[in-house]
Structure 1
């Protein structure tokens, strides 16, 4: 009896030692990387269906105070926020509040029609897979509302063209004012409203025919959840996602949540004030790699057919392969033969979160810096470092 147990214990010990060795190697490699990086700070994690296998922060959450970036540092995650919208949409369908095939005007308190195809309904499904023909016009930039005015840091930028471009951005952003996101949608997509623009806000391609990524399409989907459920989108997310998963360090600023360990964000290498989005459902969800890792654990279990936040059938529908490689999205999730997930970018933010289908593991990278000379390449290199070790994980 004891002889049969010994080989098993030996095998388990070897697996444990190898796993620890991989974790140590990741830490050594990314520590060295961070010391020569243009990124202020970043957090990474590797997640399987049961737990967070590895998580660690590198660099600084705030350079001036030398506050280090840790696994528990909170920051906005930009468009990865749409992964929560995907789950919320499927939950609302399970509850009988809506159906993905519903025309959007069945649920909206105002009418949105592509003027190029007035007889064609736009469906919730089309919003979710970015084929709705609704575009992000220039007025989408009005969504950013900063807590304080952005200082004229652009005067320190060496490149003249970049300096002028950033100055225009700063002046535009500093003039924005807060409003409800329902009002923001209405002003852009309802004929006769102040920001209505047929050419900028609507595609000349028929609804359902062509993929075009649309933040405003996502916001309309979130607004439909509000209208169909009778509660705010943030409350819906809190009730059906954050509370069940005990994501206690996640949410949107000012919506029954204030971060206690938030990172400063760095744009072109300079710190910028906190900001909110009028269209908060499409981005600006604040979390850390540990909390978001809990969400991804649930997503992997759902992908494998386990009911948790949603039924197995809803997970299957949400993460289904697109009808063609030209479409790219399931229900707000990017889906291809290798991975399922999302990436995000915004002022001071670069993020990646992808579930590797072959390995049943997820990689998370949250970065508090954007628009540095090599930033995009560096974030890609962080992701590839983690991917290399995922392939070695027992």
Structure 2
């Protein structure tokens, strides 16, 4: 009996030493990347179905005050927000409030049709796998609402073409006005409305036939959830996901949520004032490494057949393989032969969150920096460093 207990103890010690050695190796490699790249700050995690295996922050949440970026640092996660939208759609279907095969105009108070195919109905299924033919036009940039005006930092640029481009963006952003998401959708996609532009906002391909990523398609899906359930989308997410998982540091800026430990966001290397989005469901969830790790671990368990937030059947439908490699999505989740997850990018935000289908190991990277030299390469290097260990 004593020999057995000693063997168990030795195995536990060896496992602990090995895990610490791996964690030290990851930390050394990421510290090196942090010093060499242009990301002001970033947080990472490796998770499995049981929780966090490794998590750490690097660099700064605010470079002026030298506040460190930690696993508790909160920031927007851009389009990874759509992974919660996916769960919300499936939950509404389980509640029998809607069905993926339903026509979107069964729920909308106004009618949306592709003018190139006026007799073709667009379905919720087509919204969630980005085959609806609803496109993001120029008016989508009106979604950014900054608390304070963005200063003319572009005057520091030596590249005149880039200076002119960023100046146009900043001037637009500084004039944007908040409005309900329903109004924002209607103004773009209903004939006769002020921003209706068929050439920009609708595909020339038949609904359901072609994949084209669409933020506004996602926002229409979120609005349909509101119409179908009678609940505000942010409140629905809080009730169905954030509260059950005790994601206490997560929420929607400007929606009865006051983030603590919020990171400054750096766009072209300049600190940006706080921003809200009219289209907050598609990309403005604020969270941190710890909270999103809880969410991703829950998703991995669901994928492996455990019912939790959703039934096993809903997880299977949500993360099913696309009908072809050209389609890419299940229900908002990117699904390929190796991994399932999502990435995101926005003003001052670059993010990745995926889990490997083979072993159920997940990788999360949140960065508070975008549009710097080599920014996409920088965050890809961080992700690939974690991937190397996740595959071991």
Q: TM-score, normalised by structure 1?
A: 0.98
* 1:347 maps to 2:347: yes
Equivalence for 2:286? 286
| Alpha-carbon distance between aligned partners in 2 of 1:256 and 1:345, rounded to the nearest angstrom | 24
Equivalence for 2:119? 119
Equivalence for 2:59? 59
Equivalence for 1:319? 319
Deviation at 1:260, TM superposition (A): 1.1
Q: In the TM superposition, what are the counterparts of 1:176-191 in structure 2 within 5 Å?
A: 176-191=176-191
Judge which range, 13-22 or 217-226, deviates more.
Answer: 13-22
Equivalence for 1:130? 130
| Alpha-carbon distance between aligned partners in 2 of 1:156 and 1:188, rounded to the nearest angstrom | 34
| Alpha-carbon distance between aligned partners in 1 of 2:40 and 2:162, rounded to the nearest angstrom | 20
| Alpha-carbon distance between aligned partners in 2 of 1:211 and 1:264, rounded to the nearest angstrom | 34
| Alpha-carbon distance between aligned partners in 1 of 2:73 and 2:327, rounded to the nearest angstrom | 34
Equivalence for 2:253? 253
Deviation at 1:297, TM superposition (A): 0.9
Deviation at 1:341, TM superposition (A): 0.2
Deviation at 1:164, TM superposition (A): 1.6
CA RMSD of aligned residues (A): 0.9
Deviation at 1:358, TM superposition (A): 1.3
| Alpha-carbon distance between aligned partners in 2 of 1:271 and 1:4, rounded to the nearest angstrom | 58
Deviation at 1:175, TM superposition (A): 1.1
Q: Deviations over 1:2-48 (max 9, x none)?
A: 33444443333222211111111111111122122211100001111
| Alpha-carbon distance between aligned partners in 1 of 2:5 and 2:263, rounded to the nearest angstrom | 48
Equivalence for 2:384? 384
Equivalence for 1:102? 102
Equivalence for 2:166? 166
| Alpha-carbon distance between aligned partners in 2 of 1:188 and 1:199, rounded to the nearest angstrom | 11
Aligned with 1:363: secondary structure?
Answer: strand
Equivalence for 2:141? 141
Judge which range, 158-167 or 134-143, deviates more.
Answer: 158-167
| Alpha-carbon distance between aligned partners in 2 of 1:358 and 1:7, rounded to the nearest angstrom | 30
| Alpha-carbon distance between aligned partners in 2 of 1:380 and 1:157, rounded to the nearest angstrom | 26
| Alpha-carbon distance between aligned partners in 1 of 2:8 and 2:335, rounded to the nearest angstrom | 38
Q: Deviations over 1:52-111 (max 9, x none)?
A: 111111000001111110000000000000000000000000000000000000111111
| Alpha-carbon distance between aligned partners in 1 of 2:67 and 2:3, rounded to the nearest angstrom | 52
| Alpha-carbon distance between aligned partners in 1 of 2:383 and 2:151, rounded to the nearest angstrom | 32
Equivalence for 1:229? 229
Q: Deviations over 1:137-167 (max 9, x none)?
A: 1100111111111001111123222112111
| Alpha-carbon distance between aligned partners in 2 of 1:83 and 1:387, rounded to the nearest angstrom | 20
Equivalence for 1:239? 239
| Alpha-carbon distance between aligned partners in 1 of 2:197 and 2:153, rounded to the nearest angstrom | 33
Aligned with 1:71: secondary structure?
Answer: coil
Q: Deviations over 1:268-295 (max 9, x none)?
A: 1110111111010001110001001110
Equivalence for 1:82? 82
Number of aligned residue pairs: give it.
392
* 1:297 maps to 2:297: yes
Aligned with 2:83: secondary structure?
Answer: helix
| Alpha-carbon distance between aligned partners in 2 of 1:44 and 1:171, rounded to the nearest angstrom | 34
| Alpha-carbon distance between aligned partners in 2 of 1:65 and 1:76, rounded to the nearest angstrom | 20
Judge which range, 8-17 or 80-89, deviates more.
Answer: 8-17
Q: TM-score, normalised by structure 2?
A: 0.99
Deviation at 1:391, TM superposition (A): 2.1
Equivalence for 1:9? 9
| Alpha-carbon distance between aligned partners in 2 of 1:338 and 1:289, rounded to the nearest angstrom | 23
Unpaired runs of at least 5, structure 2: none
| Alpha-carbon distance between aligned partners in 1 of 2:12 and 2:66, rounded to the nearest angstrom | 40
